[in-house]
Amino acid sequence: MHVNSENILSVKDLTKSVQVEDKTLVLLQPLNLTVAAGESIAVVGSSGSGKTTLLSILAGLDLPSSGQVYLKNKPLHQFNEEQRSQVRAQHVGFIFQQFLLINSLTALENVMLPAELANLTDARARGEALLEQVGLADRLDHYPSQLSGGEQQRVAIARAFIAKPDILFADEPTGNLDSKTGQHITDLIFDLNAKEGTTLVLVTHDAKLAARCQRQVEMDSGVLTEPTVEQVSNNAKTSNVESTKTQHHDVETQNSAAQATTPQVG
């Protein structure tokens, strides 16, 4: 396979299947994908469509059953776990839905960890600067249990950027957050991504979030397609309508709660 040096990620004829008892379960049908350096791309689809399976393979966390995966011109499909781990440490950042912070480490120590593993000499200074950028300059010494969900995700974002990755993989980064906090987290991801010039691969079922990327592809039952501009626009409009309904429902719920707790005079 000829690899374009301008593509940070190139995939050809990739498949994934697993054996379940005496049956073969196909997770990913043969697919091809290229991602240019500096590009932001959203992988959209419903739960169980194969999005996270694809991300795991693209990031070198898992191997395909067949096909080729090149990240920074390195053939991940031919590498063992130790070799793929080295590629991840050198080139990849992650943001997960579950935050995945280490409970025994402070916010600053969690952020510094990837830089220390990469032997970067300015880990502390860069960690402090990133936590300041995400609005947590006063939370450096707090442990995850002392932080809200939104604050934990901000720590995870700072951690993802500290080693200056060439490519960032984000798997449902706002999935565990309320709409207001999720919007703030989304802004932080795209702002930092623009400042750092990082390639972004975003996995989400949220059409509104996906619309902020330069490009979208869609997973459906293990099949990858690239929707037309019209389809992308229609999906975003539908998402906006649903978001408005949710916001109205939240306001009504808050009003009802306020009325229920207001003492009656009479």
Helix H, strand E, coil C: the string for the chain is CCCCCCEEEEEEEEEEEEEECCEEEEEEEEEEEEEECCCEEEEECCCCCCHHHHHHHHCCCCCCCEEEEEECCEEHHHCCHHHHHHHHHHHEEEEECCCCCCCCCCHHHHHHHHHHHCCCCCHHHHHHHHHHHCCCHHHCCCCHHHCCHHHHHHHHHHHHHCCCCCEEEEECCCCCCCHHHHHHHHHHHHHHHHHHCCEEEEEECCHHHHCCCCEEEEEECCEEECCCHHHHHHHHHHHHHHHHHHHHHHHHHHHHHHHHHCCCCC
The whole-number pLDDT of residue 263 equals: 46
What gap in Å lies between CA 14 and CA 260, rounded to an integer? Answer: 56
On the question of pLDDT at 155 being above 90, the answer is yes
Tens-place pLDDT, residues 159-188: 999 998 999 999 998 888 888 888 888 998
**pLDDT tier for residue 266 given thresholds of 50, 70 and 90:** very low
CB 223 within 8 A of CB 31: yes
Lowest average pLDDT, out of 85-89, 116-120, 163-167, 251-255, goes to: 251-255
Number of domain units in the chain: 1
The whole-number pLDDT of residue 54 equals: 96
92 part of a folded domain: yes
The whole-number pLDDT of residue 262 equals: 44
40 part of a folded domain: yes
Please compute Rg for the chain using Cα positions. 20
Structural domain for 194, as ranges: 7-230
What are the residues facing 113 on neighbouring strands?
none
- CA dihedral 240→188→47→225, nearest 10 degrees, is 80
Residue of higher predicted confidence among 81 and 240: 81
The whole-number pLDDT of residue 49 equals: 92
Write down the pTM of the prediction.
0.81
107 part of a folded domain: yes
223 part of a folded domain: yes
Q: Which residues, 6 or more positions from 224, have their beta carbon under 8 angstroms from its beta carbon?
A: 28, 29, 31, 32, 33, 50, 54, 217, 218
What gap in Å lies between CA 64 and CA 62, rounded to an integer? Answer: 7
79 part of a folded domain: yes
Question: At 184, which CATH number?
Answer: 3.40.50.300
User: Residue 187 is encoded by which pair of tokens?
Assistant: 């802004």
235 part of a folded domain: no
Tens-place pLDDT, residues 123-149: 999 999 999 999 999 999 999 999 999
245 part of a folded domain: no
Q: Rounded mean pLDDT of 108-125?
A: 92
252 part of a folded domain: no
